[in-house]
Structure 1
């Protein structure tokens, strides 16, 4: 597991710990924050602990974003280790629009580069362009869009797929989201 703890002028990016369950609950229960996340908001601490055990605890690259002065999570940044190397993030809404996710994402991207991860991918709902802005600010490039009946939320979403090749193979495009969806396309002007 990549146990990094990196401090910047404003942030600490570190592993989640048991003591962080209350802060994780505040993030995961918020319906506004969870609008564009691939799960439903949690209802209680038991669901938060279950989420932690299944989604966070043993993941190689799943880090808490903490304000430096409190060292308490206000969000997370993560990258999966399967063939998609899916990159993602979330932040409590009272901390939105301050550059915290971009700052933490850059830290994780550098760690992934050092660890030899070849590329990362990320998707965002077309109705959430600010997430695409984070992807662009960390160097990710738009590749294509596709429509998916999104589960578990069960509604149709147009996702935009971004990619950052970390190993210099600039022509590589991850097609796992393109191939299975009948409606896929490249949007102009992104």
Structure 2
């Protein structure tokens, strides 16, 4: 069986590739920043040891699968990871991303995501979804730039942080079936609604 796990991609400014053992320090730089990780499910990493464990648990395991999209993205100049893009191979096909603060507001997340979205479409995905905390509207702007459209809002008691979060769910269908809406979060969480002014 052909391995479709995180094929290397290139954009104008970036290389997207797998994280490797040599990237632990760069991975730590991305995941240790409190501001970067405010709207992410995990707590900021506190040490290189934690970063190493995180790499093994989140990335090494995923790279053993036959298919996957867990990318480090790096500037072409030095090939050092400054952020990540993931698309889940679970049914939600959830798109997630993070970027070191000093590279914010340069369009890099959108550039990296576009490349990954193109790849999953090519590989036969029918759609992707993405969610963002309503207190993080910039993330929603990335979703809109990718052509995703708002579907609904839901409240979740978020783990492991154990905080109440209101999420907006966006979706992009690749096959023109625009009535398709991924309903799992809507069905799972008691508080859900559609905002009229998004």
Indicate whether the TM-score tops 0.5.
yes
1:132 alignment partner in structure 2: 140
| Alignment-derived partner of residue 98 in structure 1 | 106
Q: What is the 5 A alignment of 1:56-135?
A: 56-59=59-62, 60-135=68-143
CA shift digits 1:10-52 (9 cap, x unpaired): 1111111111111000011111111000111111112112211
Contact 1:62 1:76 in 2 (8 A): yes
Segment of structure 1 superposing worse, 76-85 or 7-16 = 7-16
1:31 and 2:34 matched? yes
Change beyond 3 A, Cα 1:3–1:127 = closer
Q: Distance in 2 between matches of 1:24 and 1:2?
A: 19
User: Following superposition, which runs of at least 4 residues in structure 1 exceed 3 angstroms of deviation?
Assistant: none
Q: Distance in 1 between matches of 2:26 and 2:147?
A: 29
Report SS of the residue matched to 2:96. strand
Q: Which deviations, in whole Å up to 9, do the C-alpha atoms of 1:73-110 show, x marking residues without a partner?
A: 00000101011111100000000010000000000000
- Between 2-11 and 111-120, report the one with greater CA deviation: 2-11
Q: Provide the secondary structure at the position in 1 that maps to 2:157.
A: strand
Uncovered stretches (5+) of structure 1, i.e. residues with no partner:
none
Q: Provide the secondary structure at the position in 1 that maps to 2:29.
A: helix
1:171 pairs with one of 165, 170, 179 = 179
Are 2:6 and 2:71, in contact at CA under 8 Å, matched by a contact in 1? no
1:157 aligns with 2:165: yes
Paired residue for 2:20?
A: 17
Conservation of the 8 A alpha-carbon contact between 2:6 and 2:70: no
Taking only aligned residues, the RMSD between alpha carbons, in angstroms, comes to 1.1
In the alignment, which residue of structure 1 is the partner of 2:149?
A: 141
Q: Distance in 2 between matches of 1:65 and 1:120?
A: 19
TM-score by length of 2: 0.92
Please say if residues 12 and 67 of structure 1, whose CA atoms lie closer than 8 Å, have aligned partners that are also in contact.
Answer: yes
Report what 2:58 is aligned to. 55
Residue deviations 1:138-189 (CA, integer Å, cap 9, x gap): 0111000011111111111110000111233221100111011111000112
User: Is the Cα–Cα contact under 8 Å of residues 10 and 115 in structure 2 kept in the other structure?
Assistant: no
CA distance in 2, matches of 1:89, 1:105: 8
